Structure 1
């Protein structure tokens, strides 16, 4: 349950009888009733049934009078919240799946159904939401359905990539044709200028020889014949220029059509990637449940599943970010971001995969607050940690922060990811930030990604005006870092000014 339960406006509807409260108390599904006040600070909870307490851990006296936002967590999808609001405004009914957080801090996946409650006057007086925990009872067939949907979506993504390549080739050919037409146009203009210059010279000569016209009739006829030839040459040049202009106009129209189609494909790719994030998130939750139920014999299998899940999620996130960056639709929201929450989320997300691979993953605490876009900065750090996990086979990974000072930018926070991987040669430290560039994956092993992670890091950092750095020692490991402006004016030390990976 989130603050989307209060979305909607009072509209005239056909009057319906209210359901009596004792019925709600006996339901096995969580029931939450809010008012319909949309002005700040938003709607408040008026009633919850006992099933709500069993689902979330909150008693009725702890939530009544408070905003439904208390159930949200960093993994609650803002796009789903916007879709709930749109559905309530357009159809008086909303259905969605969200990740919320219980009172004890555990996240859970729930299905929501929201409808208005109509009062005796025929106006909407409250909203009622029925919530169901999707993690309590999921069969093997449900997981197979999710897997099938993912396979279909991946097929769609591959087809879109193929069509994108074809469109790029066509655009390149059209641009070459436009360049050739432009050259021909410039040649025609040069010929026209030469003809006009010659015509001007001839007219000047005719004016100077006006007194000799009577005595030089033959010479005049010859000059007139030359003038007619020049006029014919000028007419032919003008016709060629008009034909070139018409061809150029058609080429421009075709280019605009291709650009529009390209933009539509980018939007379709972004939408498809976004729609896939929900089932991928659900898969992660199911894998977390399986991890707590499987024994040591199944750990290698679960480790493979976790690696595949992270690979799919990284690929989808990378494609979505690339589509947004190419379409120019990524608009950062710079605001104060506490690092402690972000580091906890990243630690909880990657520790299972590190343990399955026999690696140590440590996150040093940090109480500083930086100025950045929370979602984009988290995406940068997630890609750096995922990259370290891909190339580290023994040892571990360390995520930590240290303060630094820049003469032009003031106080900064450098967030560093240390690994004990193979290291990077100096001549390759700029190549790794190129798209689809993988130095030691010539066989294109998909379990190690497609080479978008560090390219996305570089592009997002430029978008946020953050500095990305890399230091490496071949055979010993690497350190990737991103430097972010600090918000806090405190000058106390952070306690980790000398970061080293501790064995």
Structure 2
């Protein structure tokens, strides 16, 4: 930059004309070191574009506008461009307060103070409209990517089948070699028999001895014939085993094809009405009065149970079919924790519970969607079994035995707790410790089982500690990204007993 950033941010002088602009205006301080600048001012157009009021964003990082589809490479170039020049222009996919995404162009320039140093950065955001062709292209690209994933899975299964056939062919070749050796030995015996018959002709005077030798040769020939018969039977058994293996392989391929077809159909047909239900409940939340809030809380809990059950069944089907391939990439925890807090806060309030989320600026290496699914299931499980008190979601740094840096994400609750001998059983499918009558209000017991299977798929460590009658804490340990923001260290309540 042509001018260095001032060490202490000066008071911001707001230009009245900014509130009359049609484009969103964001003014931040000039701190480019991690975790980055904070918002000092936004105009009215910013509220119309994002849904956030000024008091909701001032003092927070602009990263709260990013979504899982925001290009992290483009975000990384903003700080570099502002350090190297006086201008930055990028196009990003951001997320509004209501969760919808939009494409926008950002133009960022420094605000120079009287001393010639940069005191603030001003960003002008303009929303870009996507035409229908882009939407169709994105949908086709997603379908193509899914088809490629399915094709790669089928190719992998075909390679496994070819390996099995190769091993069986090797066994068949070994049996054939044994058969050939038996035939060679038989020919040798027959040659010996011919020699002895010739000796019988030459030595007619030793007919008895020749007959005895011939009898011995015949006994040896019968033994060889028996060995040959056994070898042929073994070959027939090997052929039958190969035929059964081929039939099992064909059935496995057919079952995998049916499961993948069912998964593709269910993913669209079942998710659409559940998403619609969520939108209707969100509309009702703003229209119903205080008297109806308990009813709305029950509806929200039922909706979360339906969506959790649906996600559990679909994830279980994907895991069984081998169609769930994680995409490991840097994942900022701040955005994910904000999403989970927004999703479960209202449900907790409806049930008279406290739900707190501790901020965390770390970036981890994981699959964003699968990690969010793990945390959502852990929070939903805590809400399901907690009747009084509250739930706390937060993170802390830790190291493994080799000294690697990790982030342990923990969900604390004040529920009934779990006795020690049941701690391993809670991660089994269709296992609910306090639901012996299989009441559907508590689900079917897939949530924690899916958490365990997804964690194994991601190579993340799942942990649980519990104090009967006082509560439990579930945790997932995720490796920090190689270039991560410093974690906001905080102290969780510790039980000494």
**Alignment TM-score, normalising by the size of structure 2:** 0.59
Is residue 424 from structure 1 mapped to residue 418 from structure 2 by the alignment?
Answer: yes
Provide the rounded CA distance (Å) in 2 between the counterparts of 1:130 and 1:305.
38
Task: Tell me: CA distance 1:490–1:456, structure 2 relative to 1, closer, same or farther (3 Å).
Answer: closer
* Secondary structure, counterpart of 1:442 in structure 2: coil
In 1, are the aligned partners of 2:189 and 2:217 still within 8 Å (CA)? no
Provide the rounded CA distance (Å) in 2 between the counterparts of 1:381 and 1:461.
11
Instruction: Show the counterpart of 1:236.
Output: 229
* Secondary structure, counterpart of 2:379 in structure 1: helix
Instruction: Show the counterpart of 1:447.
Output: 441
Provide the rounded CA distance (Å) in 1 between the counterparts of 2:353 and 2:187.
85
Alignment of 1:315-326 (within 5 A): 315-326=309-320
* Secondary structure, counterpart of 1:252 in structure 2: helix
In 1, are the aligned partners of 2:360 and 2:487 still within 8 Å (CA)? no
Instruction: Show the counterpart of 1:40.
Output: none
**Alignment TM-score, normalising by the size of structure 1:** 0.58
| Deviation at residue 283 of structure 1 after TM alignment | 1.3
Is residue 284 from structure 1 mapped to residue 278 from structure 2 by the alignment?
Answer: yes
| Deviation at residue 267 of structure 1 after TM alignment | 0.7
Task: Report the more deviating stretch, 464-473 or 221-230.
Answer: 221-230
Provide the rounded CA distance (Å) in 2 between the counterparts of 1:290 and 1:481.
34
Instruction: Show the counterpart of 1:262.
Output: 255
Instruction: Show the counterpart of 1:106.
Output: 98
Instruction: Show the counterpart of 2:321.
Output: 327
* Secondary structure, counterpart of 1:482 in structure 2: strand
Provide the rounded CA distance (Å) in 2 between the counterparts of 1:102 and 1:403.
28
Instruction: Show the counterpart of 1:218.
Output: 211
Structure ID, larger Rg:
2
Instruction: Show the counterpart of 2:389.
Output: 395
Provide the rounded CA distance (Å) in 2 between the counterparts of 1:490 and 1:75.
17
Equivalent of 1:298 in 271, 276, 292: 292
Equivalent of 2:332 in 338, 354, 358: 338
Instruction: Show the counterpart of 1:89.
Output: none
Task: Tell me: CA distance 1:195–1:336, structure 2 relative to 1, closer, same or farther (3 Å).
Answer: closer
Is residue 472 from structure 1 mapped to residue 459 from structure 2 by the alignment?
Answer: no
Provide the rounded CA distance (Å) in 2 between the counterparts of 1:284 and 1:256.
42
Task: Tell me: CA distance 1:495–1:437, structure 2 relative to 1, closer, same or farther (3 Å).
Answer: same
* Secondary structure, counterpart of 2:406 in structure 1: strand
Alignment of 1:16-165 (within 5 A): 57-58=48-49, 74=67, 105-107=97-99, 128-129=131-132
Provide the rounded CA distance (Å) in 1 between the counterparts of 2:184 and 2:425.
54
| Deviation at residue 203 of structure 1 after TM alignment | 8.6
Equivalent of 1:461 in 455, 464, 469: 455
Equivalent of 2:239 in 242, 246, 254: 246
Provide the rounded CA distance (Å) in 2 between the counterparts of 1:471 and 1:273.
36
Provide the rounded CA distance (Å) in 2 between the counterparts of 1:482 and 1:454.
12
Over aligned residue pairs, what C-alpha RMSD do you find?
Answer: 4.3
Is residue 354 from structure 1 mapped to residue 354 from structure 2 by the alignment?
Answer: no
* Secondary structure, counterpart of 1:494 in structure 2: coil
Provide the rounded CA distance (Å) in 2 between the counterparts of 1:102 and 1:416.
26
In 2, are the aligned partners of 1:57 and 1:102 still within 8 Å (CA)? no
Deviations 1:116-154 (A, max 9, x none): xxxxxxxxxx984499xxxxxxxxxxxxxxxxxxxxxxx
Structure 2's unaligned 5+ residue stretches are: 1-43, 51-62, 72-92, 103-128, 135-167
Structure 1's unaligned 5+ residue stretches are: 1-52, 60-69, 79-99, 111-125, 132-180
Aligned pair count? 345
